[in-house]
A and B are shown apart, each in its own frame.
Chain A
Amino acid sequence: GQQVMQIPQYQHVQEGEDFTTYCNSSTTLSNIQWYKQRPGGHPVFLIQLVKSGEVKKQKRLTFQFGEAKKNSSLHITATQTTDVGTYFCAGNPGAQKLVFGQGTRLTINP
């Protein structure tokens, strides 16, 4: 069935370093969403990408959707301790449901 693979599973960085997580789908996606889950919390929506090749920015966060609409990435510039958490991509294969990646857990050394 539909699978969304996300790498890396874990990432530990020094505060101020950059961070990137990658998402790959086994099939073409209608759109992709990104969520952040703080430790002990629940997933919170960050952004949705719909168009092929789309790039969106939120302050230090840059989101990209691949040309083939099968992959996506989230890049954080100059991480801060508030960025700690698990970042999930969630692909929409065309139905109303989302298929979540396994998530990338980001920890930061202050």
Chain B
Amino acid sequence: DAGVIQSPRHEVTEMGQEVTLRCKPISGHNSLFWYRQTMMRGLELLIYFNNNVPIDDSGMPEDRFSAKMPNASFSTLKIQPSEPRDSAVYFCASSSHSGRAIDTQYFGPGTRLTVL
């Protein structure tokens, strides 16, 4: 099992540039989550999808952030324009939603984003 795959693993960009982070969830999982981790704010949920549909995007910081899930095996998180305060590790996680209690979330290795 390949696990959750994220790319790129590291991204360094300049302020104002567009950044696209990618995620491939575990095959068969129908829920996908995007998190951001910083020292100051810890692990924050940005948005999550169930069956490719965004369910809760209340954690998305502002309009510069957008996320899509065009199919069950791919999701993107886009930041446009990027700012230095967006520097963080971004994790994607997936789970198999059974409709009962929440299921285990499997995290990808993360993308370390640095905005100069």
Contacts and interface: CB of A to CB of B under 8 A. Distances in A.
B108 interface: yes
B55 interface: yes
Nearest to A92: B102
Interface size on B, as a range, is: 20 to 34
27 contacts: A31-B101, A33-B102, A33-B105, A42-B108, A42-B109, A43-B91, A43-B93, A43-B105, A44-B107, A45-B104, A45-B105, A45-B106, A48-B104, A92-B102, A96-B48, A96-B55, A96-B97, A97-B33, A98-B45, A98-B102, A98-B105, A99-B45, A100-B35, A100-B45, A101-B42, A102-B42, A103-B42
A49 B27 CA distance: 26
A44 B93 CA distance: 10
B50 interface: yes
A95 B50 CA distance: 11
Contacts of B33: 97
Nearest to B33: A97
A103 B43 contact: yes
Contacts of B102: 30-31, 33, 92, 96-98
A50 interface: yes
Nearest to B55: A96
B82 interface: no
Interface in A41-66: 41-45, 48, 50
A22 interface: no
Contacts of A101: 42
Contact of B107 (A43, A48, A95, A103): A43
A97 B104 contact: no
Contact of A100 (B31, B42, B50, B110): B42
Interface string B6-46: 00000000000000000000000001010100000011110
